[in-house]
Amino acid sequence: MADDGKSVELFLQEGDPFRSVRARLEKDEFLIDTQDMGELVKKIYDDGDYEFWTIVPKEAWGDLLLALAQEFFAGDANATDRLRDICEKHGVKYKRGHWA
pLDDT averaged per 10 residues, the chain (length 100): 74 97 95 96 94 98 97 97 97 96
Tell me, what's the pLDDT at 2? 40
Position 27 scores a pLDDT of 87
Is 96 a member of any domain?
Answer: no
Is the residue at 64 inside a domain?
yes
In this structure, is residue 77 part of a structural domain? Answer: yes
Residue 98 lies in a domain: no
Per-residue pLDDT at 15: 96
Residue 97 lies in a domain: no
66, part of any domain: yes
Q: In this structure, is residue 54 part of a structural domain? A: yes
- 50 Cβ contact partners less than 8 Å away, ≥ 6 residues apart: 35, 36, 37, 41, 44
Domain that holds residue 17: 2-90
Q: What is the DSSP letter of 96?
A: -
How many domains in the chain?
A: 1
Q: Is residue 95 part of a domain?
A: no
In the chain, DSSP finds a helix count (H) and a strand count (E) of 3, 4
Q: How far apart are CA 36 and CA 48, in angstroms?
A: 9
Task: Give me the pLDDT at residue 1, please.
Answer: 40
